[in-house]
Structures are given as C-alpha cells and as structure tokens.
C-alpha cells in the first residue's frame, strides 16, 4: 500500500529520511522519476541519504509495477515532479495521502512561487489540478511534519494558476 506520495524535487534529504518516515510509518522509500532512475550516480547516492531506510530508485513504470506486485508493503513514494505523481495515480494504485512538499524553480521555465519553497509553471498547475480531481478535489501542501497543512488548490488560485 502506498501510505504517502510526496512531490518534492529535492527527493531524499534529512526531513524525508527521518521525520517523514517516522510520521508515515512506511517500510521503504521509493524515489520515482525516469531520469533519476537512469542516472547511476543518483541511484547510488540517494539510498545513502536515507539514513538506513530501504530505498529504491525507480522509473515511473517500475514504481507502478513494484507497487502492484507488492500490495502488502507500506511505501512512501517521492516523485520529483507532479507529472510523475499524476502517472502513478492514473495507474489506479491506491494512495492514502498525496502531499506537495517542495518544488525548487527550474532555470529557464516560466514559474510563479506559490509558497517560499514551491515554484509552479502552467503545466505543473494543470498536473496538480488533475491530481486534485482524482483525489476528490483535494490536494494539500505541507513542507514538514511540523507545518500546518495548506490547501494547495487555494495557493494555485491566489497566484493566478
């Protein structure tokens, strides 16, 4: 079961490896992104950042296949981009919670900062809205487990996205 799907282009860092894993109670972290999964350096480095947690670095297709084949495992999936998360959700997998965590600006894109740590392009906003549609009209944002949960659709609207 996918206990938590987080959209965070930083992927694995201290908050994820310690705080989020403890809060979620998942058995393993799956980093989900095609380019990251094809990069041998990131495939080696990301598990080392997870401080002893089990980590798999998979493409979107590999993530979906793994989750389908291991429904009894409790997973924390971290997607680099909202498009990765949308593909996971469109596969029909059951996901307990979806959270927008962090999205650093990507140089050369036309983005708006909707929070101090989340940059969103028009294409990203479309993905986020589709994700919310699939989740009963709800999509939340929470940077850390200590932060309040925010309505991400409201943040998009406030910023003209």
**Which among 69, 72, 73 has a CA at the least distance from the CA of 29?**
73
Sign of the CA dihedral with 74 first, then 144, 42, and 110 last: positive
Question: From CA 64, how far away is CA 58, in angstroms rounded?
Answer: 9
Active site residues: 13
Question: From CA 74, how far away is CA 68, in angstroms rounded?
Answer: 12
Question: From CA 123, how far away is CA 37, in angstroms rounded?
Answer: 23
């Amino acid at each position: 079961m996918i206990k938590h799907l987080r959209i965070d282009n930083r992927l694995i860092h201290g908050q994820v490896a310690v705080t989020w894993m403890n809060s979620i109670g998942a058995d393993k972290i799956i980093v989900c992104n095609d380019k990251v999964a094809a990069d041998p350096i990131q495939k080696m480095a990301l598990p080392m950042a997870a401080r002893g947690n089990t980590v798999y670095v998979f493409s979107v297709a590999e993530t979906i296949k793994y989750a389908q084949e291991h429904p009894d495992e409790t997973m924390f999936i971290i997607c680099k981009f909202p498009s990765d998360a949308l593909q996971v959700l469109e596969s029909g997998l059951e996901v307990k919670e979806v959270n927008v965590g962090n999205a650093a600006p990507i140089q050369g894109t036309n983005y708006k900062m909707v929070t101090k740590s989340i940059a969103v392009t028009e294409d990203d906003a479309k993905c986020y809205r589709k994700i919310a549609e699939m989740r009963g009209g709800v999509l939340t944002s929470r940077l850390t487990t200590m932060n309040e949960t925010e309505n991400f659709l409201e943040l998009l609207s406030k910023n003209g996205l």
